[in-house]
Amino acid sequence: MILYLHGFRSSPRSFKARRLAGRLAVLDHSNDWRCPQLPMSPFETIRLAESIIGDTPPASLSLIGSSLGGFYATWLAQQYGCRAVVLNPATAPDQSLDQFLGEQTLWHSEGTVTVERRHLDELRALRVKAITLPERYYLIAATGDEVLDYQDMLQAYPGVQTTLIEGSDHGISDFDNYLDQVLTFCGVNVNQIQGGDGSSQLS
- The domain spans of the chain are 2-202
Span 2-202: which CATH code?
3.40.50.1820
List the one residue out of 173, 179, 144 whose CA is nearest residue 26.
179
- What three-state secondary structure class fits 100? helix
- Tell me the Cα Rg of the chain: 17
H helix runs in the chain, sequence order: 15-26, 42-53, 68-80, 93-96, 117-125, 150-156, 179-185
Q: What is the pLDDT along the chain (203 residues), one digit of tens a residue?
A: 999 999 999 999 999 999 999 999 999 999 999 999 999 999 999 999 999 999 999 999 999 999 999 999 999 999 999 999 999 999 999 999 999 999 999 887 778 999 999 999 999 999 999 999 999 999 999 999 999 999 999 999 999 999 999 999 999 999 999 999 999 999 999 996 544 444 344 33
- pTM beyond 0.85, yes or no: yes
